[in-house]
Amino acid sequence: MNNIREMIENGKTSLGIEFGSTRIKAVLIDESHAPIASGDHEWENRLDNGIWTYTLDDIWNGLRDSYTKLAADVKAKYDVTLTKVGAIGFSAMMHGYMAFDKENNLLVPFRTWRNGTTGPAAEALTELFQYNIPLRWSIAHLYQAILNGEDHVKDVAYFTTLAGYIHWQLTGEKVLGVGDASGMFPIDVEAKDFDTGMIQKFDELVADKGYPWKLKEIMPKVMVAGENAGCLTEEGARLLDESGNLEAGIPVCPPEGDAGTGMAATNSVAKRTGNVSAGTSVFAMIVLENELKKVYPEIDLVTTPDGSLVAMVHANNCTSDLNAWVGIFREFAESFGIEVDMNQLFGTLYNKALLGDADCGGLLAYGYLSGENITGVAEGRPLFVRSPKSNFNLANFMRVNLCTALGAIKVGMDLLLKEENVAIDSILGHGGLFKTKGVGQKLLAAAINAPVSVMETAGEGGPWGMALLASYMVNKEEGESLEDYLSKKVFAGNEGSKMDPDPKDVEGFEVFIERYKKGIAIEQAALENLV
């Protein structure tokens, strides 16, 4: 305790603050990278004139509240007033659109990643660049505003992401970490900067509009992990800490996106490694050795915080419908007057799935509460289907609902593994699907036919990953890579429990996924006929 108190008083700590979609969380770590204090603030986006947004007041009130709670946690635990930190980093959900004029006024409400209003722009830019531009990318938002003839576009002097905005206001620096930047506009991984050829194509595309800006002039400067991205200004310190106790001058690392901080928090920045986050939605991040040979609308290309190319497969649906079924079993038990422990119920039902047939006994399910772009389904219609010949029992029922939670992500991953022959040495699984030991892990290993590791904890998730990036900036040795820093200084001796794929499970999952792909027609019919 005295040791931690000394670290705090001497500014030997690092602070990460991340803006998630429902929570803003601050995590303070010590010299051994262990979390020692935290604070958080819950918030929700709002639908304003058809746009999903957060107001500037939402942003700043949330930031201050999370920091105030962190400082209070430090005071309560260690009886120290927080006045200095060794380094700070800010991260946020990626993509979206925050545009400002030359007087630094926000021109239109913040358009978050959740807005799917950029279809024509994304399609046109994907065709122009021959590079997948998803709906949520910042450049798609800018070009859609141009296609819409929005008056504000001529006045844009700067546009950035949420993390880039926070960093700018607290340091005065218009910069962005390369991982977050890769969700604004395509990155040249050799130059570790925005792709100049594509910037030129964009400028030519909009040349007839006569705007007073060129694209490069209104985007942030791209930086990589480890670089110094400025210091907390006097004004920034007051914006962050209402009490006035926090000193200015603290080094701040490049702001990052939540994908990058997730990679740092799971030690997944080396080539041939990756992580799968499986909760309400599921996404896989695989660090590539080479560029992909084709453009796939199912696969986003982003980067690690140090600029390596990453293939990202994102599915909208994972555990929500599975959780609803577990809720039905709880209701059943409670109807008999049985008091139910939910952890025990999840554990029992998940483990039952391991007793099922490898191919789920001919059963089929879709946990689509919302649409699924990977399989081309516009809206959600959760379904459970079987034939009279199916082997219908509890084990297979649970197994099919667990397998289908990974169905869409497998369709996308198969493009990487089978079409592009991407090599994976290790995958780290994290999120609610892996909470019951060995079950989600075993089925994911079967789905991707690769070893899957699960750690007891990935620290505090994204904000912890951001704190690690801040620590790396000030504590790295000369020439030390982010990969080496994480492997040797943060995760040494904490590789987690590894599980290799069982050949029978792999074979069974392949049979299931063929049934899953054929059955999409049933899902489409439900969409057309079930309101």
List, for residues 17-53, the tens digit of each pLDDT value.
999 988 999 999 999 999 999 999 999 999 899 899 9
Q: In whole angstroms, what is the distance from residue 342 CA to residue 207 CA?
A: 59
- State mean pLDDT over 485-495: 88
Shared-domain flag, residues 232 and 124 = yes
- Do 138 and 248 lie in a common domain? yes
Looking at residues 179-205, what average pLDDT do you find?
97
| 236, 381: one domain | no
Nearest 5°: phi and psi at 476? -65, 150
Is the same domain home to 457 and 422? Answer: yes
Same domain, 88 and 45: yes
How far is CA 397 from each of CA 60, 320, 481, rounded to the nearest angstrom?
A: 46, 16, 46
244 and 364 co-located in one domain:
no
Residue 183 near residue 138, CB atoms below 8 Å: yes
182 and 117 within one domain: yes
Lowest mean pLDDT among 44-48, 160-164, 499-503, 507-511: 44-48
The widest CA-to-CA distance across the chain, in whole angstroms, is: 72
Burial pattern 319-332, b for ≥16 Cβ within 10 A else e, equals bbbbbebbeebbee
Res 178 pLDDT > 70? yes
Residues 513 and 433 in one domain: no
Beta strands in 126-184 (DSSP E): 158-160, 175-177
> Which residues contact residue 256 at a Cβ distance below 8 angstroms, ignoring those fewer than 6 apart?
89, 91, 163, 177, 179, 180, 225, 305, 466, 469
- What interhelical angle do 439-448 and 342-353 show, nearest 10? 40
Q: How far is CA 192 from CA 221, 226, 245, 305, in A?
A: 11, 13, 37, 10
Cα(335)–Cα(47) distance, integer angstroms: 39
CA of 194: how far to CAs of 162, 187, 307, in Å? Answer: 18, 4, 11
CA geometry: angle at 201 spanning 200 and 204, to 5°?
85
**pLDDT exceeds cutoff 80 at 456:** no
Structural domain harbouring 476: 265-318+410-500
The pTM score is 0.89
Strand pairing report for 273-278 and 426-430: parallel
pLDDT reported for residue 458? 47
CA distance 465 to 177: 14
Please check whether residues 217 and 76 belong to one and the same domain: yes
Domains identified in the chain, total number:
3
pLDDT band for 457, please (50, 70, 90 cuts).
low
Helix (H) or strand (E) holding 181: helix 178-181
Alpha carbon distance 497, 184 (integer Å): 35
Per-residue confidence (pLDDT) for residue 455, from 0 to 100? 81
Number of Cα atoms under 13 Å in the Cβ half of residue 509: 28
* pLDDT per residue as tens digits for the range 214-241: 999 999 999 999 999 999 999 999 999 9
Is pLDDT of 414 > 60? yes
One domain for residues 180 and 101? yes
Tell me: do 226 and 136 sit in the same domain. yes
pLDDT digits (tens, 9 = 90+) for 107-150: 999 999 888 899 999 999 999 999 999 999 999 999 999 999 99
Regarding whether 133 and 10 lie in a shared domain, the answer is yes
Looking up residue 469, the CATH number of its domain turns out to be 3.30.420.40
Per-residue confidence (pLDDT) for residue 316, from 0 to 100: 86
pLDDT-derived band at 460 (thresholds 50, 70, 90) equals low
pLDDT > 50? residue 459: no
Counting residues of the chain whose pLDDT is more than 70, the rounded percentage is 99
